[in-house]
């Protein structure tokens, strides 16, 4: 077949195979356009989007205030580098993050970077500088990124770690609560106490990093008492608690930050990213001024961190998700979705659990193998629904619908999910 006879879809995928590293995993979808909860491919096929570019579209594709803010900013200036020329959009995002921060301390500051992994790395740098201690505690089923340190902190060998060692030193892993698989808060705290007795001196631990709802690990929300118990343990040993909300934050759970669902859970540092930039790359570390200022001047930064376009977009996103009406809508969305998922789960013995927090929801399949979840994702794609699997064993199906999704689109997407589950039965 000549180049001209190939569809745009096939031509782009052929070029992708020829020119792009096989190390990046890609789906069958080739995107031409996206708006709200819809993605349209290059052959004109429309999909309902429950993937959101992996949780980056809490306000939906091309959210109008974000697009307007980007246009306005593009007409003024693009890159400056905050270390070369101070610009207001960067400061404006840090001010909003300070106002919305769930962290301890009246005065909050932030640093802006490009990706979630970079933000987690910076949170560890800040914690090390502030405490003078080297070690980092992480948890089972964690995902914190793909850079050397964050890959080390991540808890899944294939595809994230296999062949990429040696890993960063001074990273210690504790059990995480996982009630569906029989691990309670008490088990996890006991495991952490044991780790601090058997493997690492708590006096050398700078921080413990926890996702309040584990994302890539399977949308596992921490049980109600766990964050406060972790807080108490950290306080006892002078360890800082880093709250990784790259996936669970920015309204995803029906609160601005997932940790706000938990009583007595006040982190020292917050890591945000993904939906923060409304579709542009932006991530942040936020916390009390004394921690953010513990790093000597020049110790934090980067060429593109907090670039003006991303900051303009993020200010619009934060204004939207901080609105109580927006959050109430997100919580209603979560209730509707959960009711539908519970009903669906009742039909199939192989669906083990419906779980999540607010509209951050997933179905975990009972068998710890990826095949059936992949079959559901594939059957959904064939019917016009974008879905993602997750979990240590790839056996959870997560739903990351935009929080702005219209009722009829949600209904359509859940109907397609219903068909996909039936097809995989
Ligand atoms: N932390 C969490 C909780 C995440 O879910 C992710 C990405 O999925 C990251 C960190 C890394 O973010 P990024 O892919 O932007 O580096």
pLDDT tens for residues 308-330?
A: 999 999 999 999 999 999 999 99
What is the predicted pLDDT for the residue at 46?
98
Q: Ligand 1 centre from 247 Cα, in Å?
A: 7
Give the C-alpha distances (Å, rounded to integers) separating 76 from 80, 114, 311: 11, 21, 13
Ligand 1 within 6 A of CB of 247: yes
What is the structure's pLDDT at 1? 57
Q: Does residue 219's CB lie within 6 angstroms of at least one atom of ligand 1?
A: no
Question: Measured from the CB, is residue 155 less than 6 Å from ligand 1?
Answer: no
145 lines ligand 1 (CB under 6 A): yes
Give yes or no for residue 244 CB within 6 A of ligand 1: yes
Asked if residue 273 has its Cβ within 6 Å of ligand 1, the reply is: yes
pLDDT at 2: 62
Q: Quick one: DSSP state of residue 2? A: -
Kindly state if the Cβ of 300 falls inside 6 Å of ligand 1. no
Question: CB–CB of 380/9 below 8 Å?
Answer: no
362 close to 219: Cβ distance less than 8 angstroms: yes
Q: Which residues of the chain have pLDDT under 50?
A: none
Beta bridge partner(s), residue 397:
363, 389
pLDDT at residue number 3: 60
φ, ψ at 47 (rounded to 5°): -125, 145
Q: How far apart are CA 219 and CA 216, in angstroms?
A: 7
Q: What length is written for the chain?
A: 425
pTM: 0.98
Closest CA to 362 of 215, 212, 176: 215
Task: Note whether 362 and 355 are within 8 A (CB).
Answer: yes
- Of the candidates 45, 56, 39, 69, the one whose C-alpha atom is nearest the C-alpha of residue 402 is 56
* Four-CA torsion 228, 230, 232, 237, nearest 10 degrees: -160
The CA-CA-CA angle for residues 177, 398, 154, to 5°, reads 50
Residue 16: both structure tokens together: 């992708």
Structure-token pair, residue 328: 């109430």
Query: Measured from the CB, is residue 151 less than 6 Å from ligand 1?
Result: no
Asked if residue 115 has its Cβ within 6 Å of ligand 1, the reply is yes
Atom 5 in ligand 1: residue holding the nearest Cα: 247
Ligand 1 pocket test, pick from 160, 273, 314, 391 with the greatest ligand atom count within 8 Å of Cβ, gives 273
Q: 41 CB under 6 A from ligand 1?
A: no
- Does residue 216 line the site of ligand 1, with CB under 6 A? yes
- For the record, the structure tokens of 256 come out as 């601005």
Pocket lining: 211 vs ligand 1, CB cutoff 6 Å: yes
pLDDT at res. 23? 97
CA 6 to chain centre: 37
| Nearest-10 crossing angle of helices 371-383, 407-423 | 130
Pocket test for ligand 1, best of 144, 257, 282, 398 (most atoms within 8 A of CB): 144
- Pocket-testing residue among 55, 145, 285, 357, ligand 1, by greatest number of atoms within 8 A of Cβ: 145
CA of 8 relative to ligand 1 center, distance in Å: 31
With CA atoms as reference, report the closest residue to 389 among 116, 159, 46, 115: 159
CA 272 – ligand 1 centroid, Å: 9
Candidates 58, 19, 8; CA nearest to 313 is 58
CA 403 from centre of chain: 15
Q: Which of 274, 305, 391 to mutate to test the pocket of ligand 1 (most atoms within 8 A of CB)?
A: 274
């Amino acid at each position: 077949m000549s180049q001209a006879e190939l569809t745009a879809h096939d031509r782009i995928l052929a070029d992708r195979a020829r020119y792009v590293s096989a190390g990046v995993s890609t789906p069958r979808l080739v995107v031409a356009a996206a708006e709200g909860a819809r993605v349209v491919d290059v052959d004109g096929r429309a999909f309902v989007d429950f993937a959101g570019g992996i949780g980056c579209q809490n306000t939906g594709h091309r959210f109008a205030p974000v697009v307007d803010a980007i246009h306005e900013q593009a007409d003024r200036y693009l890159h400056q580098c905050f270390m070369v020329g101070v610009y207001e959009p960067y400061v404006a995002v840090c001010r909003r993050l300070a106002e919305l921060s769930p962290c301890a301390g009246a005065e909050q500051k932030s640093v802006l970077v490009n990706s979630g992994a970079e933000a987690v790395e910076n949170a560890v740098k800040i914690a090390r500088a502030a405490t003078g201690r080297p070690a980092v505690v992480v948890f089972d089923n964690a995902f914190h990124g793909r850079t050397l340190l964050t890959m080390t902190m991540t808890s899944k060998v294939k595809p994230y770690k296999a062949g990429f060692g040696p890993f960063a030193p001074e990273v210690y892993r504790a059990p995480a609560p996982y009630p569906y698989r029989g691990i309670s808060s008490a088990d996890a705290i006991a495991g952490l106490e044991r780790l601090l007795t058997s493997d690492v001196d708590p006096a050398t631990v700078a921080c413990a990093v926890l996702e309040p709802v584990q994302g890539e690990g399977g949308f596992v929300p921490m049980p109600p008492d766990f964050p406060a118990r972790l807080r108490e343990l950290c306080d006892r040993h002078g360890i800082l608690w880093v709250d990784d909300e790259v996936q669970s934050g920015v309204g995803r759970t029906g609160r601005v930050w997932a940790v706000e669902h938990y009583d007595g859970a006040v982190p020292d540092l917050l890591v945000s990213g993904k939906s923060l930039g409304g579709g542009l790359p932006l991530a942040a570390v936020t916390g009390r001024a004394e921690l953010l200022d513990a790093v000597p001047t020049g110790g934090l930064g980067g060429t593109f961190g907090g670039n003006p376009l991303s900051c303009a977009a993020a200010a619009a996103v934060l204004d939207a998700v901080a609105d109580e009406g927006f959050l109430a809508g997100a919580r209603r969305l979560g209730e509707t979705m959960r009711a539908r998922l519970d009903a669906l789960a009742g039909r199939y013995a192989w669906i083990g659990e419906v779980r999540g927090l607010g509209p951050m929801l997933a179905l975990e399949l009972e068998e710890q193998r990826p095949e059936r979840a992949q079959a559901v994702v594939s059957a959904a794609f064939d019917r016009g629904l974008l879905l993602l699997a997750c979990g240590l064993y790839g056996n959870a199906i997560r739903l990351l619908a935009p929080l702005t999704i219209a009722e009829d689109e949600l209904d359509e997407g859940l109907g397609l999910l219903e068909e996909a589950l039936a097809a995989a039965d």
